[in-house]
């Protein structure tokens, strides 16, 4: 996997350190063997007493300590590299997800994205924490052992050279299978996470419709599939370590046989050398075998990395904004909708032929049946969705010619379900304002939005924390929070998606007054359900099935369009 290696290479200091550690470990292995052999040779053959072998014992202890320390450091460096790499992947994913046009984030399950972001990236860990350091170690330590073996007894060295390749060959064969299996496993996990999150998000709905049981079964099946995929991966991994164990046992046996013959039968070797080689041999194969198990971990990571990179490379056409500055000034901009078309995906709902001129300070109502495309049009005007044909023209230029922030800075978009972040009420209201907001400004905004009294009743007032997505607040309260945001931000264009469901009269009245006050200093485009809003607007865009079928004042449309008449007569009456 090229990308994984590049990330490792980029961490030069760590890489060199790993090589230095590997060299040291190689030397330590030889030293350890030397001391063990000296002690045994001294005690058993040369009948040395304690004081003679004491230096060797101390030496052995030191070497063992050093080996433990270096192995630990090796792991530490690997872990450091891993956490850096994971950070990089997560940052890349995050920046991709945040740059994605809204259309892209509407596609697919959010659970799957979360799974890639969390689990797949975590899976990458073992490449750096296990595989990479081990690979460096294995490329150094066996060579040092091999050199020593050749120097002491070349026949043993030869046996090592001949048998060694079997281990990587097996690793590659089995590793290939593991990678496929682990890719399958990750896919199952992503599917599982996706289903799980989606079902969790819809749990209340499912309960009301008595479908929770069915979904339980879906989760069960999905988790069973994941289990099977995991077991498959483990099976291969266990099988391969068995095979590797077997190969190395055979090879060590071969060396033992050879050394034994030469020592006892032919008497070519002295005990010291024979013993030395015999102790080195397992170290040699161990080092290769460890690469084997690290290799499996690494393979798993490669499967995960592939998934991440696929996700990163998935072409999402970015929305490119220009750098024109939209001057705030005293007057809201003139907005012209020029033959706008928009479609969700290839075959989804489409919006057609929407043309309208919205002059500064105008009060525009968008009306139409549910599902006719009102909210979609509002999002196109806001710049969140881009028309596939036609354009939103602002002060004579295409909206996209402006700098994104210079447009967004002048805009308040109060959707039907405004998003509140987990944080304090203060933070949530002042989110659109650059710099500090004074308590007085904050309270004034909340007052105008009609939530000041509600907030004051809370134990911690403006410092009350609210949950993600505004948990703990009602729909009406969330909208009023959004309106308070608008009061602070003082936008020149307000897009407002009126609540369809009945708020209580009191709240509704406050909302009306708030919007009226906001409209004094800005253009307001409202998806209107209430007759009051509709009647009071300067112009009404009547949408049916994604098409703008008529526009004009309430009186004009009532006189000229029977569909409009029918629809409006069904609207809820005016409050107050
Ligand atoms: P309205 O606000 O008039 O009720 P919307 O603009 O919300 O209607 O939706 C218009 C149509 O577009 C509906 O049929 C709806 O199912 C579809 N739609 C809305 N959002 C999406 C989306 N994110 N992806 C695909 N289709 C969508
Ligand atoms: Mg809507």
**C-alpha count within 13 angstroms, C-beta hemisphere, residue 364:** 28
Highest mean pLDDT among 362-376, 419-433, 560-574: 362-376
Closest-lying ligand 1 atom to the alpha carbon of residue 497 = 2
Comparing 139-143, 241-245, 441-445, 494-498, the range with the smallest average pLDDT is 241-245
Which ligand is the nearest neighbour of the Cα of 367?
1
In this predicted structure, the answer to whether residue 219 has a pLDDT above a threshold of 80 is yes
The answer to whether 495 touches 515, Cβ cutoff 8 Å, is no
Q: 379-397: b or e for each residue (b if 16 or more CB lie within 10 Å)?
A: bbbbbbbbbeebbbbbbee
Which ligand is the nearest neighbour of the Cα of 542?
1
In this predicted structure, the answer to whether residue 253 has a pLDDT above a threshold of 60 is yes
In this predicted structure, the answer to whether residue 76 has a pLDDT above a threshold of 80 is yes
Per-residue pLDDT reduced to its tens digit, 383-394: 988 898 999 999
User: Given the structure tokens 């409202």, which residue do they identify?
Assistant: 526
Residue 177: which of 240, 244, 126, 243 has the closest Cα? 240
Which ligand is the nearest neighbour of the Cα of 344?
1
Residues with CB under 5 A from ligand 2 (ion): 375
Comparing 25-39, 63-77, 240-254, 376-390, the range with the smallest average pLDDT is 240-254
Closest-lying ligand 1 atom to the alpha carbon of residue 369 = 3
Closest-lying ligand 1 atom to the alpha carbon of residue 527 = 2
Which ligand is the nearest neighbour of the Cα of 385?
1
Instruction: Tell me which residue has its CA closest to atom 15 in ligand 1.
Output: 371
Ligand 1 centre and the CA of 374: distance in Å? 8
State the Cα–Cα distance between residues 542 and 373, nearest whole angstrom.
10
Comparing 129-138, 311-320, 452-461, the range with the smallest average pLDDT is 311-320
- pLDDT, position 297: 74
- pLDDT, position 158: 92
- pLDDT, position 251: 92
551 compared with 8, residue with greater pLDDT: 551
Tell me the Ramachandran region of residue 527: left when phi exceeds 0, alpha when psi lies from -120 to 50, beta otherwise: beta
Ligand 1 centre and the CA of 373: distance in Å? 6
Closest-lying ligand 1 atom to the alpha carbon of residue 370 = 4
Instruction: Tell me which residue has its CA closest to atom 17 in ligand 1.
Output: 349
The answer to whether 527 touches 366, Cβ cutoff 8 Å, is yes
The answer to whether 537 touches 528, Cβ cutoff 8 Å, is yes
State the Cα–Cα distance between residues 111 and 223, nearest whole angstrom.
14
Ligand 1 centre and the CA of 186: distance in Å? 33
The answer to whether 516 touches 559, Cβ cutoff 8 Å, is no
Ligand 1 centre and the CA of 108: distance in Å? 16
Q: Is 376's C-beta closer than 6 angstroms to any atom of ligand 1? A: yes
Mean pLDDT, all residues of the chain: 86
Ligand 2 centre and the CA of 378: distance in Å? 9
Instruction: Tell me which residue has its CA closest to atom 23 in ligand 1.
Output: 106
Per-residue pLDDT reduced to its tens digit, 156-181: 999 999 998 888 787 777 767 777 77
258 compared with 181, residue with greater pLDDT: 258
Ligand 1 centre and the CA of 112: distance in Å? 23
Taking the mean position of all CA atoms in its chain, how far away is CA 551? 45
Report which DSSP code applies to 324: B
389-410: average pLDDT: 92
- pLDDT, position 576: 37
Comparing 273-277, 402-406, 511-515, 525-529, the range with the smallest average pLDDT is 511-515
- pLDDT, position 498: 81
State the Cα–Cα distance between residues 144 and 26, nearest whole angstrom.
6
Tokens of residue 442, six digits: 């904050």
Ligand 2 centre and the CA of 565: distance in Å? 20
Per-residue pLDDT reduced to its tens digit, 514-529: 888 889 999 999 998 8
Comparing 30-34, 151-155, 334-338, 502-506, the range with the smallest average pLDDT is 502-506
- Is residue 244 within a helix (H) or strand (E), and if so which, with residue range? helix 212-260
- pLDDT, position 542: 95
- pLDDT, position 1: 65
Ligand 1 centre and the CA of 233: distance in Å? 43
Report which DSSP code applies to 461: G
Tokens of residue 8, six digits: 């490792």
Per-residue confidence band for 572, with pLDDT thresholds at 50, 70 and 90: low
**C-alpha count within 13 angstroms, C-beta hemisphere, residue 89:** 30
- pLDDT, position 571: 67
In this predicted structure, the answer to whether residue 146 has a pLDDT above a threshold of 60 is yes
In this predicted structure, the answer to whether residue 104 has a pLDDT above a threshold of 70 is no
280 compared with 416, residue with greater pLDDT: 280
In this predicted structure, the answer to whether residue 203 has a pLDDT above a threshold of 80 is no
- pLDDT, position 553: 94
State the Cα–Cα distance between residues 19 and 17, nearest whole angstrom.
5
CA distances from 321 to 349, 384, 567 (A): 25, 12, 38
Instruction: Tell me which residue has its CA closest to atom 16 in ligand 1.
Output: 371
Ligand 1 centre and the CA of 22: distance in Å? 60
The answer to whether 479 touches 501, Cβ cutoff 8 Å, is no
Q: Is 372's C-beta closer than 6 angstroms to any atom of ligand 1? A: yes
Ligand 1, residues 341, 351, 375: which to mutate, most atoms within 8 A of Cβ?
A: 375
State the Cα–Cα distance between residues 564 and 372, nearest whole angstrom.
13
- pLDDT, position 575: 43
Ligand 2 centre and the CA of 371: distance in Å? 7
**Domains, the chain, ranges and CATH?**
2-312 (1.20.1560.10), 335-575 (3.40.50.300)
Ligand 1, residues 102, 373, 548: which to mutate, most atoms within 8 A of Cβ?
A: 373
Cα angle 511, 512, 514; round to 5: 65
The answer to whether 561 touches 542, Cβ cutoff 8 Å, is yes
Ligand 2 centre and the CA of 482: distance in Å? 17
- pLDDT, position 469: 65
Q: What is the dihedral of CA 36, 32, 128, 251, to 10 degrees?
A: -50
Distant-in-sequence, close-in-space partners of 56: CB < 8 Å, separation ≥ 6:
35, 38, 39, 42
The answer to whether 482 touches 433, Cβ cutoff 8 Å, is no
Residue 373: which of 355, 351, 352, 388 has the closest Cα? 351
The answer to whether 343 touches 351, Cβ cutoff 8 Å, is yes
Q: Is 374's C-beta closer than 6 angstroms to any atom of ligand 1? A: yes
Across the beta sheet with 539-544, what order do the strands follow? 397-398, 389-394, 335-343, 350-358, 547-552, 539-544, 363-368, 523-527, 493-497, 411-414
Which ligand is the nearest neighbour of the Cα of 499?
2
Per-residue confidence band for 344, with pLDDT thresholds at 50, 70 and 90: confident
Q: Is 147's C-beta closer than 6 angstroms to any atom of ligand 1? A: no
Percent of the chain with pLDDT over 70: 94
- pLDDT, position 46: 83
E strands along 288-384, which residues? 335-343, 350-358, 363-368
State the Cα–Cα distance between residues 541 and 339, nearest whole angstrom.
14
Residue 429: which of 459, 463, 457 has the closest Cα? 463
Percent of the chain with pLDDT over 90: 35
The answer to whether 563 touches 544, Cβ cutoff 8 Å, is yes
- pLDDT, position 118: 82
- pLDDT, position 574: 47
How many residues make up the chain in this entry? 576
Q: Is 142's C-beta closer than 6 angstroms to any atom of ligand 1? A: no
State the Cα–Cα distance between residues 519 and 532, nearest whole angstrom.
15
Instruction: Tell me which residue has its CA closest to atom 13 in ligand 1.
Output: 371
């Amino acid at each position: 996997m090229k990308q994984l290696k590049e990330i490792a290479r980029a961490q030069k200091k760590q890489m060199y350190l790993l090589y230095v550690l590997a060299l040291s470990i190689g030397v330590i292995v030889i030293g350890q063997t030397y001391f063990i052999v000296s002690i045994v040779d001294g005690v058993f053959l040369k009948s040395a007493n304690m004081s003679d072998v004491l230096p060797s014992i101390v030496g052995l202890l030191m070497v063992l300590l050093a080996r433990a320390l270096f192995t630990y450091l090796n792991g530490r460096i690997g872990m450091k590299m891993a956490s850096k790499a994971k950070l990089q992947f997560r940052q890349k994913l995050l920046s991709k997800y945040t740059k994605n046009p809204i259309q892209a984030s509407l596609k697919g399950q959010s659970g799957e994205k979360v799974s890639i972001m969390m689990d797949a990236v975590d899976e990458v860990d073992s490449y750096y924490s296990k595989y990479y350091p081990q690979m460096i170690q294995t490329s150094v330590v066996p060579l040092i052992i091999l050199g020593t073996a050749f120097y002491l007894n070349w026949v043993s060295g030869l046996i090592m050279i001949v048998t060694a390749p079997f281990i990587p060959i097996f690793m590659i064969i089995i590793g290939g299978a593991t990678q496929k299996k682990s890719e399958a496993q990750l896919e199952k996990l992503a599917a599982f996470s996706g289903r799980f999150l989606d079902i969790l998000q819809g749990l209340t709905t499912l309960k009301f419709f008595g479908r929770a049981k069915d979904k339980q079964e879906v989760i069960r099946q999905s988790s069973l599939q994941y289990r099977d995929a995991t077991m498959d991966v483990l099976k291969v991994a266990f099988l391969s370590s068995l095979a590797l164990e077997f190969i190395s046992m055979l090879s060590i046996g071969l060396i033992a046989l050879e050394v034994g013959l030469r020592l006892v039968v032919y008497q070519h070797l002295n005990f010291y050398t024979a013993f030395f080689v015999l102790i080195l041999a397992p170290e040699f194969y161990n080092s290769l075998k460890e690469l084997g198990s690290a290799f499996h971990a690494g393979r798993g990571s490669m499967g995960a990395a592939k998934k991440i990179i696929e996700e990163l490379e998935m072409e999402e056409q970015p929305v490119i904004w220009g750098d024109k500055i939209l001057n705030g000034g005293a007057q809201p901009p003139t907005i012209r909708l020029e033959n706008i078309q928009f479609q969700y995906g290839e075959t989804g709902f489409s919006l057609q032929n929407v043309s309208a001129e919205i002059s500064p300070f105008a009060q525009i109502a968008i009306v139409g049946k549910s599902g006719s495309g009102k909210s979609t049009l509002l999002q196109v005007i806001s710049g969140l969705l881009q028309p596939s044909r036609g354009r939103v023209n602002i002060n004579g230029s295409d909206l996209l010619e402006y700098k994104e922030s210079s447009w967004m800075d002048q805009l308040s978009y109060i959707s039907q379900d405004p998003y509140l972040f987990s944080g304090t009420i203060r933070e949530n209201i002042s989110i659109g304002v650059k710099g500090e907001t004074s308590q007085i400004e904050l309270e004034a905004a909340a007052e105008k939005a009609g939530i000041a009294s509600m907030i004051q009743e809370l134990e911690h007032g403006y410092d009350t924390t609210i949950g993600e997505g505004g948990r703990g607040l009602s729909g009406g309260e969330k909208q009023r929070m959004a309106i308070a945001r608008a009061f602070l931000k003082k936008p020149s264009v307000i897009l407002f998606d009126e609540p369809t469901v009945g708020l209580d009269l009191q709240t509704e009245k406050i909302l009306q007054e708030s919007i009226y006050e906001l409209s004094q200093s800005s253009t307001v485009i409202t998806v209107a359900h209430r007759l009051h809003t509709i009647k009071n607007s300067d112009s009404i865009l009547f949408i049916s099935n994604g098409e703008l079928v008529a526009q004009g004042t309430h009186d004009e449309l009532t006189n000229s369009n029977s569909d409009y008449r029918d629809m409006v007569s069904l609207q809820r009456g005016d409050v107050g």
